[in-house]
Protein backbone atom coordinates (compact mmCIF):
# COMPACT_ATOMS: atom_id res chain seq x y z
CA UNK A 1 0.00 0.00 0.00
CA UNK A 2 2.83 2.35 0.88
CA UNK A 3 4.50 1.72 -2.51
CA UNK A 4 1.26 2.47 -4.34
CA UNK A 5 0.93 5.77 -2.50
CA UNK A 6 4.53 6.66 -3.32
CA UNK A 7 3.86 5.94 -6.98
CA UNK A 8 0.66 7.99 -7.26
CA UNK A 9 1.76 10.94 -5.15
CA UNK A 10 4.14 12.37 -7.81
CA UNK A 11 1.49 11.89 -10.48
CA UNK A 12 -1.07 13.71 -8.37
CA UNK A 13 1.39 16.54 -7.77
CA UNK A 14 2.00 16.90 -11.52
CA UNK A 15 -1.72 16.97 -12.24
CA UNK A 16 -2.25 19.68 -9.64
CA UNK A 17 0.66 21.77 -10.94
CA UNK A 18 -0.29 21.61 -14.63
CA UNK A 19 -2.93 24.38 -14.46
CA UNK A 20 -0.39 26.70 -12.91
CA UNK A 21 1.84 26.32 -15.98
CA UNK A 22 -0.65 28.20 -18.10
CA UNK A 23 -0.61 31.94 -17.59
CA UNK A 24 -3.42 34.41 -17.33
CA UNK A 25 -2.45 38.03 -17.76
CA UNK A 26 -3.55 41.46 -18.87
CA UNK A 27 -1.76 43.84 -21.19
CA UNK A 28 -2.73 47.50 -20.95
CA UNK A 29 -1.62 50.36 -23.18
CA UNK A 30 0.79 52.62 -21.33
CA UNK A 31 -0.69 55.77 -22.89
CA UNK A 32 -4.35 55.21 -22.03
CA UNK A 33 -6.27 56.05 -18.86
CA UNK A 34 -8.65 53.12 -18.34
CA UNK A 35 -10.57 54.96 -15.62
CA UNK A 36 -12.32 57.11 -18.25
CA UNK A 37 -14.21 54.15 -19.70
CA UNK A 38 -17.73 53.44 -18.44
CA UNK A 39 -19.37 51.38 -21.20
CA UNK A 40 -18.63 48.24 -23.18
CA UNK A 41 -20.28 46.73 -26.21
CA UNK A 42 -19.50 43.20 -27.31
CA UNK A 43 -19.06 43.10 -31.07
CA UNK A 44 -21.56 40.71 -32.56
CA UNK A 45 -21.89 41.10 -36.31
CA UNK A 46 -21.69 39.00 -39.46
CA UNK A 47 -17.89 39.04 -39.53
CA UNK A 48 -17.37 38.24 -35.85
CA UNK A 49 -19.01 35.22 -34.26
CA UNK A 50 -18.06 32.70 -31.64
CA UNK A 51 -17.76 29.14 -33.01
CA UNK A 52 -21.05 27.24 -32.78
CA UNK A 53 -19.64 24.59 -30.44
CA UNK A 54 -18.78 27.33 -27.94
CA UNK A 55 -22.11 29.18 -28.01
CA UNK A 56 -23.18 27.90 -24.61
CA UNK A 57 -20.15 29.62 -23.10
CA UNK A 58 -21.00 33.01 -24.61
CA UNK A 59 -23.18 33.75 -21.57
CA UNK A 60 -20.15 33.31 -19.33
CA UNK A 61 -18.10 35.61 -21.56
CA UNK A 62 -20.74 38.34 -21.27
CA UNK A 63 -20.87 37.73 -17.51
CA UNK A 64 -17.09 38.17 -17.42
CA UNK A 65 -17.44 41.67 -18.89
CA UNK A 66 -20.40 42.41 -16.62
CA UNK A 67 -18.24 41.49 -13.60
CA UNK A 68 -16.29 44.71 -14.16
CA UNK A 69 -17.46 48.29 -13.63
CA UNK A 70 -18.29 48.58 -17.33
CA UNK A 71 -21.96 48.84 -18.26
CA UNK A 72 -22.92 46.65 -21.19
CA UNK A 73 -24.50 48.34 -24.20
CA UNK A 74 -26.08 46.41 -27.04
CA UNK A 75 -24.08 46.95 -30.22
CA UNK A 76 -27.28 47.89 -32.07
CA UNK A 77 -27.95 50.71 -29.57
CA UNK A 78 -24.59 52.46 -29.69
CA UNK A 79 -26.11 55.16 -31.91
CA UNK A 80 -28.37 56.11 -28.96
CA UNK A 81 -25.40 57.06 -26.78
CA UNK A 82 -24.44 60.71 -26.40
CA UNK A 83 -21.12 61.86 -27.88
CA UNK A 84 -19.65 61.92 -24.35
CA UNK A 85 -20.82 58.35 -23.67
CA UNK A 86 -19.26 57.23 -26.96
CA UNK A 87 -15.93 58.65 -25.72
CA UNK A 88 -16.32 56.37 -22.67
CA UNK A 89 -17.18 53.29 -24.76
CA UNK A 90 -15.04 50.24 -25.37
CA UNK A 91 -15.76 47.67 -28.04
CA UNK A 92 -15.13 44.12 -26.90
CA UNK A 93 -13.81 41.31 -29.07
CA UNK A 94 -13.09 37.85 -27.76
CA UNK A 95 -11.39 34.79 -29.06
CA UNK A 96 -11.02 31.21 -27.88
CA UNK A 97 -8.34 28.73 -28.75
CA UNK A 98 -7.99 25.27 -27.37
CA UNK A 99 -5.87 22.23 -27.90
CA UNK A 100 -5.24 19.05 -25.99
CA UNK A 101 -3.21 20.75 -23.27
CA UNK A 102 -4.99 24.05 -22.56
CA UNK A 103 -7.72 26.51 -23.46
CA UNK A 104 -7.05 30.23 -23.83
CA UNK A 105 -9.73 32.94 -23.83
CA UNK A 106 -8.66 36.43 -24.88
CA UNK A 107 -10.88 39.48 -24.47
CA UNK A 108 -9.72 42.67 -26.20
CA UNK A 109 -11.01 46.14 -25.38
CA UNK A 110 -10.92 48.72 -28.17
CA UNK A 111 -11.58 52.46 -27.87
CA UNK A 112 -14.77 53.17 -29.84
CA UNK A 113 -13.69 56.61 -31.02
CA UNK A 114 -10.18 55.75 -32.20
CA UNK A 115 -10.35 52.01 -32.91
CA UNK A 116 -7.22 51.63 -30.80
CA UNK A 117 -6.81 48.52 -28.63
CA UNK A 118 -6.35 49.67 -25.03
CA UNK A 119 -6.38 46.42 -23.04
CA UNK A 120 -6.20 42.70 -23.61
CA UNK A 121 -7.15 40.18 -20.92
CA UNK A 122 -6.06 36.58 -21.25
CA UNK A 123 -7.37 33.64 -19.27
CA UNK A 124 -5.72 30.26 -19.65
CA UNK A 125 -6.49 26.93 -18.07
CA UNK A 126 -5.48 23.44 -18.92
CA UNK A 127 -5.72 20.04 -17.43
CA UNK A 128 -5.96 18.44 -20.85
CA UNK A 129 -8.65 16.05 -19.67
CA UNK A 130 -11.86 17.78 -20.74
CA UNK A 131 -11.95 20.79 -23.08
CA UNK A 132 -15.29 21.92 -21.62
CA UNK A 133 -13.81 22.08 -18.13
CA UNK A 134 -10.72 23.80 -19.46
CA UNK A 135 -12.89 26.41 -21.19
CA UNK A 136 -14.86 27.07 -18.01
CA UNK A 137 -11.60 27.48 -16.12
CA UNK A 138 -10.18 29.84 -18.75
CA UNK A 139 -13.36 31.95 -18.68
CA UNK A 140 -13.18 32.20 -14.88
CA UNK A 141 -9.59 33.35 -15.15
CA UNK A 142 -10.29 35.92 -17.85
CA UNK A 143 -13.25 37.21 -15.79
CA UNK A 144 -10.86 37.83 -12.91
CA UNK A 145 -8.44 39.64 -15.23
CA UNK A 146 -11.28 41.84 -16.54
CA UNK A 147 -12.57 42.63 -13.05
CA UNK A 148 -9.02 43.52 -11.93
CA UNK A 149 -8.46 45.68 -15.02
CA UNK A 150 -11.78 47.55 -14.74
CA UNK A 151 -12.51 47.52 -10.99
CA UNK A 152 -15.51 49.36 -9.52
CA UNK A 153 -14.88 53.03 -8.87
CA UNK A 154 -14.60 54.04 -5.24
The answer to whether the predicted template modeling score (pTM) of the entire model surpasses 0.85 is: no
| 80 alpha carbon, distance to own chain's centre | 27
Is 112 or 95 the better-scoring residue by pLDDT? 112
Q: CA-to-CA distance for 130 and 145, rounded, in angstroms?
A: 23
Tell me the pairing of strands 71-72 and 25-28.
unpaired
According to the model, what pLDDT value does residue 128 have? 62
Q: Is the dihedral of CA 85, 86, 89, 94 positive or negative?
A: positive
Alpha-carbon distance values, 95 to 6, 37, 123 (Å): 41, 22, 11
Nearest CA among 146, 132, 88, 75 for reference residue 114: 88
Q: How confident is the model at residue 68 (pLDDT cuts 50, 70, 90)?
A: very high
Q: Are 107 and 64 in contact (CB under 8 A)?
A: yes
- pLDDT score recorded for residue 108: 95
Q: Is 87 exposed, middle or buried (0-12, 13-18, 19+ CB in 10 A)?
A: middle
**Mean pLDDT of the residues in the chain:** 82
Assess contact for 44 and 55: CB atoms under 8 A: no
Amino acid sequence: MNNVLKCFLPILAIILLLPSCTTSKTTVSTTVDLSKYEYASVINNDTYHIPAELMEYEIQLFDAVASSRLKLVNDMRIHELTPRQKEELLLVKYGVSNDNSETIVIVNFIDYMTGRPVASCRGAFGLGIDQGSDLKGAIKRVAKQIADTFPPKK
